[in-house]
């Protein structure tokens, strides 16, 4: 069975600073990994995903994540935070059965 751990339930960054959200997973098979964003009072939107191939994945809105098998990690980064990045971010993993297991989520606030 797969599981996801997101380190830090809340991250506060200054506008223009690096955003780093940590995600570690456990999986019995090569996983598929996802980052979703949820803006206030909205549904989930996919930021990026890793399936196979290149371990550095680029997504929308300037986000990217790197799959590190040896560390069982899939951390999300953005070089320069924008006020519009304030949201909740979820890391998720799935195996062969299409079901997504989500981490607890990380709330990002951006300081002007």
Q: Contact residues for other proteins (CB under 8 A)?
A: 32, 34, 36, 41-46, 49, 51-52, 90, 94-105
CB of 78 or CB of 89, closer to other proteins = 89
Fill in the DSSP letter of residue 62: G
Alpha helices (H) in 1-112, listed in sequence order:
none
Give 110's strand partners.
13
CB of 17 or CB of 59, closer to other proteins = 59
| Distance (Å, whole) CA 108 – CA 46 | 16
CB of 3 or CB of 14, closer to other proteins = 3
CB 2 within 8 A of CB 93: yes
The distance of closest approach from Cβ of residue 102 to other proteins in the complex, given in angstroms and rounded to an integer, is 5
Fill in the DSSP letter of residue 60: G
CB 11 within 8 A of CB 75: no
CB of 52 or CB of 70, closer to other proteins = 52
The distance of closest approach from Cβ of residue 15 to other proteins in the complex, given in angstroms and rounded to an integer, is 26
């Amino acid at each position: 069975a797969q599981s996801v751990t997101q380190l830090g339930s809340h991250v506060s960054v200054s506008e223009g600073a690096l955003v780093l959200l940590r995600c570690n997973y456990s999986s019995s098979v090569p996983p598929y990994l996802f980052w979703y964003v949820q803006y206030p009072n909205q549904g989930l939107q996919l930021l990026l995903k890793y399936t196979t191939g290149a371990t550095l994945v680029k997504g929308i809105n300037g986000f990217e994540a790197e799959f590190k098998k040896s560390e069982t990690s899939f951390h999300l980064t953005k070089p320069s935070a924008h006020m519009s990045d304030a949201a909740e971010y979820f890391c998720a993993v799935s195996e062969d059965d299409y079901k997504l297991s989500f981490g607890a989520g990380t709330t990002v606030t951006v300081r002007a």
